[in-house]
Structure 1
Amino acid sequence: MKKVQVIMSSYNGEKFIKKQIDSILNQQNVEVSLLIRDDGSKDGTIEILRDYENRGLIKVIYGKNIGPTASFLKLIDECDNADYYSFSDQDDVWLEDKLSTAVKILEENSVNKRPLLYCSALQRVDADLTYEKIQKFKRLRLNIYSMLVRERLAGCTFVFNNCLKNILNESSKINYNYPHDSWTVLVCYACGGEILFDSHPHILFRRYGTNVSVDGGNIVKRIKHEFRYFRKYKNQRYQTVNILMKYRENYIVEKELFYKIIHYKDNWKNTINLAFDKRFDCGILICNIINRVVILARCF
């Protein structure tokens, strides 16, 4: 059986974390190991983790609060050698075939040594695990251009191979706060990898309390949300591409695109060419339009 190293960052997760740990340990047809870094929990999470740790079921790193992005990147550096690696949130529940399905799809596509990343649709549930709708990411585009407009994939479904893990190593040493799942996707594509999307969900994706979703709603609310999104990540794509070129240039095959982004502020011709490059299409029209506005405003 293939070995899968699952990594989880926990923080004040006492309400749901036991069910998630159990669902990971109960994965079928794979050899699974679970490494958790606690990000400075102040509730009963640590006591729960110590119980599993004392029984030899999981490994735990107890750390100070540094936020989920830095915590996950540290975990990538600290995890054991495995055939595949997987991110996990603390409050979901995995179906028992989640990892075996991912491994099967990754194995079927492992023709050459290249970065490979599996991800899937989500079965949304409420706090009590009552089924809601399936999120399949309609009109999803799987390429680097789509990702640079809007990262739509769910990091809690990610399973990736050793090739991608090796490129991700020491990302924690880069002093830059870019979401770990978005970083993983960008590194995969930039370095010639492929992302494999499974339209069947194998995870119960819990939505509750402070979770904020823009599902549904009218067009005005959607536009406001998208502008808030792009304002939040103002200049982040430009900065991220520059950082990726600085630290991983030897791996990158998308140099032509990256140079185009790096130099898009040099003159208005470059700015306009980037803004109206039709390949920048994430499958959501309003995002594509706002992205063009953001580039023209030189805030990409």
Structure 2
Amino acid sequence: MIKKLLNLENLTQTEAYELFAEFDQYTQEKQASILALLRAKNETTEEILGALQYFGQYSTNIMHDFEVVDIVGTGGDGVGTFNISTAASIVIASGGVFVAKHGGRSATSKSGSQDVIEALGIQIPKTAEEVLQYLREINYAYLWAPLFNEAIKKYGSLRQKLGFPTIFNILGPLLSPMHTKRGVIGVYRRDLMQKVAEVLITQGVNHALVVHSDDGLDEISISSNTHVIEIKGISTKEYDLNPDDFGVSKAPLSDVRGGNALENATIICDILSGAINGPKLDIVLLNAAAGLYVSGKSTSIADGILLAKDALKQGKATRLLNKIKGSI
């Protein structure tokens, strides 16, 4: 299998499964080489499915009957925005949707979702039972990936040392223990969109958007067009979203860049409280609207923007943030 990768040949799903079944027996140097070779030739749908099949069997499976939504990105886009999907997830939940936000620490940026969650002072559920309790009582649960995906947790240090996105970035959004059927998944490469969409279809999603923008974001952008693959059951359609179509003024990416976890936490609090307007607010509204749309709460992204604005105007998002901080 390694010889195939050295020749930039693709692995079958079975070969990818076997490769990762043996992965923890390799030296860190060999592990790094495999991840780099996969990245160099670009991971295929079959390779992603094989890895997902292996790691999925060692992940927690939370049985539930909630219609939950996740909004999550692969990371790795290298742009350095603040934690947009984390902010949007709180807005979505404040609009009356069950949100199970899956995420982890940064492997390739200054601040991953877990880093900013800690900086915000948000309490996180540590067991499946607590996750369900959080959803019942406050609509929102943040699922810290290492607590529920033990088999991947051990490679966190390696990923940070490598400093570039790997197949683990792709697996992250796909390994939620809630097996979320509705969501918005951002990817850091355009070629990953179709592959992730194909994987989601095999997982039986109800309604999902896979997004990547022309300026490289694993989010819906306010600086350029965003490419979308929309999945409903086994049906897909592709289209572009332009900020102008929603009455949002385009702004340079520099206007939505963030900093470290504490700086990003301050930005999020200010957006939710209404202290920040302009591009940072606009990009959260757009991404929250996408989450409200796939949840079924709104009939379109345009309607979702109105719902998200209303949640902020009425102070619902800030009140929810305070509840999340308070623990149960």
Query: What TM-score comes out, normalization by structure 2 length?
Result: 0.29
Going by fraction, where is helix more abundant, 1 or 2?
A: 2
Going by fraction, where is strand more abundant, 1 or 2?
A: 1
